Each structure stands twice: as C-alpha cells, then as structure tokens.
Structure 1
Amino acid sequence: MNTAQDLYQERLNRIKTAVALGKPDRVPFMHSGTAFYGYLAGVKISEVCVNPLLAHQVMLRGMLSFGDLDGTQRSTVFPLALSMGQLCKVKLPGKDLPDNDVWQVHEQELMLKADYDDIIKRGFTPWHQDYCRDRLDNVIDKMKPFFDVLPLADKNMLEAGLPVLAARTVTTPYEIFSSARSMTPFVTDLYKIPDKVHAAAEVVMEEMLEELRTFMRRTKPIGILIGLGRSSRTFVSQKMQERFVYPYIMKFVDTILEEGAIPFLHCDGNWNKDFDFVRQLPKGKCVFQLDGATDIFKAKAVVGDRVCIYGDVPPGMLTVGTADDVYHYCQKLIGEIGPAGFILGQGCDTPANAKPENVKAMFSAIADQ
C-alpha cells in the first residue's frame, strides 16, 4: 500500500508531466473549494472567514471525503488576503453580510491619483504599509492568524499526500491599481497620465519581484498563482496590454521559472482574443487556468501545444446542472483537451452553493478514466 509520501510524489509527478505537455498515466485532477467546503461541513461561512485553521480543516476533510485527487491550489483561505493583495475592502459574512453569504470585494476609489507620485517618490513598500493601515483598517496586522496557521496547513496537506500547487498568489500592478483606484478612474488614468502610471508600476513591480524571490528561496514552492481578473482584451485594448499588462505577466513568469517553480496563470474572464500573447509563454512550463468564460476547446487548438490547460467545469453547471451533466462534460474534457497537457478542475473556484453530487461527479469522471 502506498504511503502518503508515495502518493504525494505520484500525484506531483502526474501534474508536472501535464505541465510539460506530456501524457501522464491519467489526467490529473485538482480541486479547490473554499466556501463550498464550509457549507458541506455545516459550518457558518462567517466562522470559516475568520478562522483559517477551521477553514483548512473543513477543506482537507471535504476533499478527502469525495475520493482521489492530485492536488489543490491552497491549503486554507482567509478573505482579508484579498484586501491586502488587491488594496480593496472586503465585506465579510457575520460582519457586513449575513452569516452564510460569501465574502465580497467592495471596490471603491481608495487610491487617489496623487498616490502614483507617492509610490514613485517613497517606494511601494512604505506606501503599501501606510495604505493598509490607514485605508484598509490595519489589515496587515489582521493577517497574523492566517500566517500563523499556514505552515501547519501546508504540512497537513503534505501528510495527506496532497500537493499544494499555488503557495502564493501574486498579481500585476495593473490589477492592483485597477482595484485600488476602481476601474473607471483607473482606465481614465491609463489615457490621461499613462507615463505616471507606468513609472509607478515599474516601482511596484521591482519591489514585488524582489520580495517574491525572497519568499521562494525560503519556501521552495511547487507553484505560484498569477491572478489575472481584468487583464484580458475584454477589459483593455491590445495597445494598453502591451504596455501595462503583458510585460509584467512575463516578468512574473520569468522570475517564477528562474526560482524553479510553476507559473499558474489564473485567467478569469474571456481570453479568446489573447491567445497571441499566450503563445509567447515558454513552452511546456506554464499552466493556463480557465474559468469557463474562455472557449477551452479553442484554447486547446490554438495554444495547447504551448501551455498546459487547466479547467474548466463551469460554476453554473456545478450549481444548477445535474451530476450527469458534470460527469459527461468532464469526460469530454478528458478526451478532447487531454490526455496530454491537461489538468481537470473547476472553473476558478467551486461555488459555495454547488451541489455535492455534482462535485462528486468530477471525482467519478477521473476515477473512470
């Protein structure tokens, strides 16, 4: 009988083979469900939100209850990490929302136009610390429970034989500014003061890359997730992407690869018009994670020889579809997107109100390969 360490290595090898565009012994399956596993356990989401140890426990127990899988994106969840990373406020259940609602990003114009100059003058790190203290209710100090639990959560996943594929989430200055300024003012900045935005972005990026290298050298992660919510051509023109988006994604990709980890490009929204950029990524080194909005079958045809495709059981199917719908869609993905260069998973994250039998159908589809 395989030990947990044997299973861990077998699963990690399966994933690495897929990333390298090879054909593993079977299509690997990764699953992520943050609020979903709280619902499944009968725990209030308001409790999951503020207790990262509880969040980890319900996630691990829930995943193992469904069957065999090859890994997960994270070992626990703490919604305030969104606040610190994207410089936005987050509404929490039990505080701003009913107990069993899912947390929500509350986007406001918290960053002002003058902040670009402040970042350029002072540097990103001191500016970020002041911003988190004064405009985000001292969120850095509130992150302590998460950072305290994270080593134990990662250790528990390892001992359960489950690789954690994205030890950390990073995002580009474009994504940070668009959230902190809010979308309309930020797009206006791109047209009215592009040089200032670019200068501030360069400062932010240099400091983030230095900090990321330090983190990676200390922790030796399997992968790093690059969160891309508004970076596709759905939101911004190609001309703007070529100055404010693509170069920064590539800097993250290069740094992550140089430090020996896998870049997971978590691409929310419709990326059908961005395949020209995806083809520029290093061959057999990156994961292109889709959430259901991008045509995954077109992605396979256009960039499937370049990047490993990860996805993409849609949230709507998991919530209002049937178990048969999910099972047959997974089989279609396994047959047409796989078996080489493909990782099966939900689109983005499993919805909190997904039907348990629909989630189980994903596990069944993998087991029946």
Structure 2
Amino acid sequence: MEKPANWSELSWEQKREVRFQAWRDAEGVKFINNEAEESYKTRVERFIKAIKLEKPDRVPVMLPVHSYPANYGGSNFHGMMYDYEKMRECWIKFMDDFGDMDTFSGPGLIPSGIISEAMCSKTTLLPGIGLPENSPTNQFVEGEYMSPDEYDLLEMDESDFNIRTMLPRTTGLFESFRKLPPLRMLQGTAWITALADPDIRKTFQTLMDLSDEYKRWTSANQEIRNLVLSRGYPPLMGAGLMAGAPFDFLADMLRGTRGISQDMFRRPQRIHDFMERRLKMNQAAIKDFPITISPIAMMPLHKGDDMFMSDKQFDEFYWPTLKATFLAMIEEGIVPMPFAEGRYTLRLKQINNTPPSGVVWYFDQTDMELAKKTLKGICCLAGNVPTSMIMTGTPDEVKAECRKLIETCAPGGGYILAAGASVEKGDINNLRAMMESAKEYGTYK
C-alpha cells in the first residue's frame, strides 16, 4: 500500500489510522474461507482498540510461542534450521491443534543453518553451532568488540569501521575484509584490484553461493507466513520495523557491559555523540519506512532496566534518544512496542511523558499494578505471566495469574495479556489457559 499524496499534511493519529487500515485490510492475503477473514478482522480490531486505550470486546492475547511449534511438532530449533518442510509441518500441526489465537507468526526468527555455519559468527551461538543441538534457542555472545581508543575511527567513518574492522572481528566469513583499503578510496577499478586478492575473492564467492540458500529459506518462511495469514491469524511483532535504543546498540554490539559502564564515567561525551548519530540514522529510516501489513515496531531493550543503571544515568544516557526514536515513529504513524527486558519498576516514573496511546510497553518483570497506576491513560500495557510458570506450572496456576493480571491491568482498556518472555517447551494446556483466561475474565461489558 502506498502512502497517500498528502501524507506530510496528516497528523500522527491520521497516519496511524492509515497504517491500521492496512492492517485491517490485509491486502493480497488469500484467506481459506470467509470465517478466517472475519476472524482476522476481529482479532486485528481487538489489538487496535487496546493500543488506542479503548475497550475491545475482550483483552487480546499474545501467546509466547516463538519456536514452540517446533518442539510441539516433534522437532526442535536445530531441526528447523535445516529441514524447511518439517518446519512447515510443525507450524501447521500447531495451528490445527491449538485453534483460536489472537496473533501468530511464522518461524522468521529461526535462521538458516547452512548460512549460519558459513558465517562463523562470534556474537551468536546456535543449536549445533556453538551450542548443543538440543539447545532450545540461540544465545548472544556479548563482548568488548570495540576498544575505547577506536571511538575516533568509528566517528570518522562508521561504515568503513563496521566493514573493515567490526565485520572481520565478529564474523569469520569476513576476516578477509581486513585487507580492504578504506572504503572512501574504493572507486572504479580499485574494486577490481581489491577483488584480485584470493581471500577477498573467496569471501564474495561464498556470499554469492549462499544466495540460493537464502532464497530457499526466505521462500519457506514466506510460504508459512502466508499459511498463517490465510487462516486468519494477524501478525504483530516482527511484521513491521525492528528497532532499538541507540544506547543499546553501542553497549550490546560494540563496547559490551564492562566497556559501556566505564564509558559512562570516563567518556560520557563519546556516548552522547554516538547516540546522536545513531538517532539521526533511526529517524531517516523511520521517515522512509513504508506502510506494511503491521504497524507495530518491536523494540527489545537491554541496558535500561532497574539493575543496570541509576535513575540519573537513565535520564542522561538512555531515555532521551530512546524517547526521540519513539516520537519519530509516532510521527510516522508507527506504533513502537518496546520490550522492557528485566525490571522497569523504577523507570515507570521516567517513561510516562509520551503522547497518549502512542506507545505499547511490553513488560517482562515489571510491577504491573504500579505500571497501570503510573501509565494509565498514557500507554497500552502488555505482560507479564512468568515464563517459568508457563513452562513448568499447571493450567490452574496459569489461569490464576492471568486473572490477577487482567483484573489489575484491563479496567478501562489498554491491556494485552502476554508472558514475560517466549517459551520453547511446556504443556500446551498452559498456553490454552492464557486464551481461556482472556475469554473468561477479560470480556468488557
């Protein structure tokens, strides 16, 4: 769907309504029957009303399934990385057996095993690639990949630094890129000269060889995504823009926890300078972001929780550029959905100054009663049934927790029932208990 000609003249609410309508319309989706299409529209409207702090027919539910269908279908994360036909079977089996869900998505977060092997990433471990094959999910390997004396290089030419320094340092496939001359010098025949190096040539040849596997992987995922949509399950997370906090990019990908902790005291201006540049990049990408089937921008947040930094540090380093990213999204009609990993109970008083209904806060371990009191009328809330309870508890325990959350957060609208994080294994009846709870306790009169 194209943006209307008068896009720049619309208010942010009007732009958001255009994106909401694209979500409702699901242009190009071939539903299996009229019932699936009607269910899709009902489910989408349920989320839209919750986001707008209105009362839908009942509380919508985000089931924490992630790679759960793989294990439920007799495989696992590792198996899905290689066997795309089995992946398709697992997703179909889960949909057949589970039935009614407010949202569901394909296995797009499960990467190709063949490509992952070739990449030799030092920052990501996967089942069978750095982890035991039966590991339930991937693991990020944080490190101080950029030293403090490299801030100058990063600031001078970030693209050059990323390609000639960071890629070789963090990804085995790109070790040959250390030999590349500065990118600002690569013009015309200089590229041919660079490709004459056998190691660089091998890297590019490997990338070209992997393109067929990438097409196979994307085709398999697209097929499953279309199957999910055709049955009336709307996409939520992962269907639109993915973004993050500028501070987290520096902390997660470059400096690491120890490095960024030191920098907050020893090099605060370096952090601010980087975040301002990253913010401008975010704003440019947001400005150009098209209208997609889902207007939700999922934003995992890592270093802003109560345990990592003080209130003062959050106000100085974390919140200003994160809030500015939110506002840029809101202005373009996009709905930022920050996933506040860890605990944000102390942060609630600091994140309550965004436009009403502009943000959906998805909480992991935050005090939801206090969140409702602090953010009522400002933000839609999502969360936070303990993942451990869903994986190891009983359906009755899950329903009791869901009822407590619904009675605390649902009054007045603006609540989405969700877990604190995703699950890969566990009793499917615990997931059913979440849906049943929304229907039994989350209906608006």
Segment drifting more, 12-21 vs 145-154 = 145-154
Give 5+ residue unaligned stretches, structure 1: none
Give 5+ residue unaligned stretches, structure 2: 1-32, 175-203
Distance 1:153 1:257 in 2: 30
Structure 1 residues 182 and 282, CA gap change in structure 2 (3 angstroms): same
2:69 maps to 1:33: no
Q: From 392, 401, 424, give the equivalent of 1:320.
A: 392
Segment drifting more, 328-337 vs 91-100 = 328-337
CA contact (8 A) 1:74 1:165 kept: no
Look up the SS of the partner of 2:61 in the other structure.
coil
Which residue is 2:235 aligned to? 164
Q: From 140, 146, 149, give the equivalent of 1:105.
A: 140
2:287 maps to 1:213: yes
Which residue is 1:9 aligned to? 41
Q: From 161, 171, 179, give the equivalent of 1:136.
A: 171
Look up the SS of the partner of 2:298 in the other structure.
strand
Distance 2:317 2:407 in 1: 37
Look up the SS of the partner of 2:143 in the other structure.
coil
Q: From 124, 140, 147, give the equivalent of 1:90.
A: 124
CA contact (8 A) 1:29 1:69 kept: yes
User: What aligned pairs does 1:334-345 form with structure 2 within 5 A after superposition?
Assistant: 334-339=406-411, 340-345=413-418
CA contact (8 A) 1:223 1:263 kept: yes
Q: Deviation per CA, 1:258-317, whole angstroms, max 9, x where unpaired?
A: 2222111111111111112221121112111011x2111221122122111101111111
CA contact (8 A) 1:223 1:264 kept: yes
Structure 1 residues 152 and 327, CA gap change in structure 2 (3 angstroms): same
Q: Deviation per CA, 1:308-367, whole angstroms, max 9, x where unpaired?
A: 110111111112211100012112222221141111111121x22332221221122234
TM-score normalised over the length of structure 2: 0.73
Distance 1:312 1:114 in 2: 41
Distance 1:280 1:38 in 2: 41
CA contact (8 A) 2:43 2:102 kept: yes
CA contact (8 A) 1:230 1:269 kept: no
CA contact (8 A) 1:71 1:165 kept: yes
CA-CA distance at 1:160 after TM superposition: 2.2
Distance 1:223 1:296 in 2: 22
2:55 maps to 1:23: yes
Q: From 227, 231, 253, give the equivalent of 2:300.
A: 227
2:143 maps to 1:71: no
User: What aligned pairs does 1:1-369 form with structure 2 within 5 A after superposition?
Assistant: 2-49=34-81, 58-59=90-91, 61-63=93-95, 65-72=97-104, 76-78=108-110, 89-102=123-136, 103-123=138-158, 125-130=159-164, 131-138=166-173, 144=214, 151-166=222-237, 167=239, 168-180=241-253, 181-214=255-288, 216-217=289-290, 219=292, 221-291=294-364, 293-339=365-411, 340-349=413-422, 351-369=423-441
CA contact (8 A) 2:104 2:228 kept: no
Distance 2:48 2:415 in 1: 11
- Report the residue type matching 1:33 in the other structure: V
TM-score normalised over the length of structure 1: 0.87
Structure 1 residues 42 and 244, CA gap change in structure 2 (3 angstroms): same
- Report the residue type matching 1:66 in the other structure: F
Distance 1:204 1:40 in 2: 40
CA contact (8 A) 2:76 2:134 kept: yes
Structure 1 residues 249 and 61, CA gap change in structure 2 (3 angstroms): farther
User: Over alpha carbons, which structure has the higher Rg?
Assistant: 2
Distance 1:134 1:192 in 2: 25
Structure 1 residues 197 and 31, CA gap change in structure 2 (3 angstroms): same
Structure 1 residues 133 and 224, CA gap change in structure 2 (3 angstroms): farther
Q: Deviation per CA, 1:13-52, whole angstroms, max 9, x where unpaired?
A: 1111011111111111112322322111111321224567
CA contact (8 A) 2:70 2:87 kept: yes
- Report the residue type matching 1:323 in the other structure: P
Distance 2:410 2:173 in 1: 46
State how many pairs are aligned.
Answer: 360
CA contact (8 A) 1:334 1:344 kept: yes
Q: Aligned-pair RMSD on alpha carbons?
A: 2.8
- Report the residue type matching 2:171 in the other structure: L
Distance 1:50 1:282 in 2: 44
